[in-house]
């Protein structure tokens, strides 16, 4: 089906790069168009854990398990759960251990930048076309002509939108909009936490730190470059980020708000807020469970562009699993043409995502506005997952 076909993947995240690797292995003619100016243009964010039956299985299918093992962060898959006074409720690093690759409960963490780098290294030279911010596209016969902000144009017989939750490709398939989950996070980045907030740095201890209580949560993750990413979460009204009166471009103003909001918490968390010089508010949105669009033979979506949901530890894993299933459908002799192959992929992908979105929405308040009961539920879940 792919013979003599030009494939354009818009978006150079884990999903898009994984798809490019898999399609090239099957002889596909693929280009990945990425808006970043270069591979080193920006920090890619916090670490991500890959799961046995999704992300890790895809890495293995792509022939990249050895490269992954050389780059993952040993021990960073553990969780440390504390209460608002920074008292440790659960410390996986001390209580559990001994699992590794091949165990279904092992979820190794890797820096997002390191994951992207190893995927790019596995592609044919020149596969990723940098500085290619997608602007628009138009049909040309059964193909597409894509235009980018830098003035370049290209044609493709098949376009895959792997460009995240603000996808510019998605509107060419569906006008279904995202809904607000009720939760919002305020994200912060700290480049040198050992110096800027040493007590928090020690508390994190290269693990995933969760502080939960009194209807609010703070989550802190290490970055591969030694920095920290944190998320202060709670339930807020829709459009709160624009109606709160907070200037989120003013770090001092956001700091004052967070200190007030967490006023009954241990002041050690205030040092986390103080060490941050740039905050980003992120309302957590999701696509409706019942979403569906009319399949087209020359365009489809994967990852957050297809099935945005609040953070649940599955995002990158789902995008990579989408990539594997799409590549299998596109290269299988089971399907007579691209339309049937794309339809088969979309049926699997949308059904799987709907089930996970439903589950995530049921637990959104447990994450963003926990009660004592939900904290105990999390302790039981983390304890059980490590046995």
Tens-digit pLDDT profile for residues 273-327: 999 989 999 999 999 988 999 999 999 999 999 999 888 778 899 999 999 999 9
pLDDT of 98 reads 66
> What span, in angstroms and rounded, lies between the C-alpha atoms of 116 and 40?
11
Residue 372 is predicted with a pLDDT of 87
| pLDDT for residue 94 | 44
pLDDT attached to residue 44: 60
92 is a domain residue: no
Do residues 167 and 304 make contact, with C-beta atoms less than 8 angstroms apart?
A: yes
Residue indicated by tokens 């439903």: 358
Taking 80 as the threshold, does the pLDDT of residue 381 lie above it?
Answer: no
In a domain, 280, yes or no: no
Domain count, the chain: 1
Does the residue 11 lie in any domain?
yes
Residue range 202-247, pLDDT digits in tens = 999 888 899 999 899 999 998 888 899 999 999 999 999 999 999 9
**Residue 9 to residue 20: CA distance in whole angstroms:** 8
DSSP letter at 245 equals -
What is the average pLDDT across 342-364?
A: 94
Is 119 a member of any domain? yes
Q: Above 90 in pLDDT, residue 42?
A: no
Least confident of 36-45, 146-155, 277-286, 362-371: 36-45
Backbone angles phi, psi at 198, to 5 degrees: -60, -35
- Write out the binding residues for NADPH: 42
Assess if residue 228 is contained within a domain.
no
Alpha helix ranges (H) inside the chain: 14-25, 55-61, 65-69, 92-95, 112-121, 193-196, 198-204, 240-243, 251-261, 268-274, 304-307, 315-330, 338-362, 364-368, 372-385
Distance of CA 150 to the CA centre of its chain: 27
Beta bridge partners, 92, equal none
pLDDT of the residue at 96: 44
Helix (H) or strand (E) holding 222: strand 216-222
In a domain, 143, yes or no: yes
Q: What local confidence, expressed as pLDDT, does residue 384 receive?
A: 63
Predicted local confidence at residue 386, as pLDDT: 41
Share of the chain above pLDDT 90, in %: 75
Residue positions forming the annotated binding site: 42, 49, 112, 304
Place of tokens 């040092």: 271
pTM of the predicted structure, to 2 decimals: 0.91
What residue numbers bound the domain in which 30 lies?
6-44+111-177+288-362
pLDDT at 144 over 60: yes
Which residue, among 16, 347, 10, 341, has the nearest Cα to 169 in the 3D structure?
Answer: 10
- Which of the four pLDDT bands, split at 50, 70 and 90, describes residue 376? confident
Annotated binding residues for FAD, written as ranges, equal 49, 112, 304
Task: Give me the pLDDT at residue 97, please.
Answer: 55
CATH code, domain with 136 = 3.50.50.60
Q: What is the pLDDT of residues 71-102, one digit of tens each?
A: 998 877 788 999 999 999 988 754 445 678 88
pLDDT value of residue 93: 58
User: For the chain, first and last CA: distance in Å?
Assistant: 45
pLDDT digits (tens, 9 = 90+) for 165-190: 999 999 999 999 999 999 999 999 99
Q: Is residue 171 part of a domain?
A: yes
- Identify whether 377 is part of a domain: no
C-alpha to C-alpha distance for 153 and 134, rounded to whole angstroms: 10
Mean pLDDT across the stretch 326-355?
Answer: 96
Average pLDDT, the chain: 92
pLDDT > 70: percent of the chain: 96
Higher pLDDT, 64 or 366: 64
Mean pLDDT of 61-66: 96
| Lookup: tokens for 307 | 């099935």
Nearest 10 degrees: Cα torsion 219, 225, 227, 228: -10
């Amino acid at each position: 089906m792919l013979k003599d076909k030009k494939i354009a993947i818009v978006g150079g995240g884990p999903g898009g790069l994984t798809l490019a690797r898999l399609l090239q292995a099957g002889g596909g003619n693929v280009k990945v168009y990425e808006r970043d100016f270069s591979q080193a243009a920006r920090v890619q964010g916090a670490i991500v854990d890959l799961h046995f039956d999704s992300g890790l299985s895809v890495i293995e299918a792509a022939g990249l398990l050895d490269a992954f093992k050389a780059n993952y962060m040993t021990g960073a898959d553990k969780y440390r759960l504390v209460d608002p006074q920074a008292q440790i409720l659960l410390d996986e690093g001390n209580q559990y251990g001994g699992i590794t690759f091949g165990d279904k409960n092992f979820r190794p963490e890797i820096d997002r930048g390191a994951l992207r780098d190893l995927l790019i290294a596995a592609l044919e030279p020149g596969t990723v076309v940098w500085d290619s911010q997608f602007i628009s596209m138009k049909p040309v016969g059964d193909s597409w002509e894509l235009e980018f902000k830098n003035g370049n144009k290209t044609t493709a017989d098949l376009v895959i939108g792997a460009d995240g939750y603000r996808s510019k490709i998605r509107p060419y398939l569906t006008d279904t909009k995202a809904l607000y989950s009720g939760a919002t996070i305020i994200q912060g980045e700290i480049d040198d936490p050992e110096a800027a907030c040493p007590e928090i740095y020690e508390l994190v201890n290269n693990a995933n730190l969760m502080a939960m209580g009194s209807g609010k949560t703070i989550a802190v993750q290490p970055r591969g470059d030694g920095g920290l990413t944190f998320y202060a979460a709670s339930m807020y009204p829709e459009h709160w980020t624009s109606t709160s009166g907070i200037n989120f471009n003013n770090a001092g103003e956001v700091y004052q708000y967070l200190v007030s909001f967490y006023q009954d918490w241990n002041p050690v968390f205030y040092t986390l807020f103080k060490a941050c010089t740039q905050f980003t508010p992120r309302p957590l949105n999701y696509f409706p469970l019942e979403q569906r669009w009319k399949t087209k033979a020359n365009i489809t979506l994967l990852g957050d562009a297809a099935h945005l949901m609040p953070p649940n530890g599955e995002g990158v894993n789902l995008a990579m699993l989408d990539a594997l299933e799409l590549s299998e459908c596109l290269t299988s002799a089971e399907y007579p043409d691209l339309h049937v192959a794309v339809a088969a992929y979309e049926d699997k992908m949308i059904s799987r995502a709907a089930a996970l979105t439903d589950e995530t929405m049921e637990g959104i308040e447990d994450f963003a506005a926990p009660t004592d009961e939900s904290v105990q539920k999390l302790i039981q879940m983390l304890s059980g997952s490590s046995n």
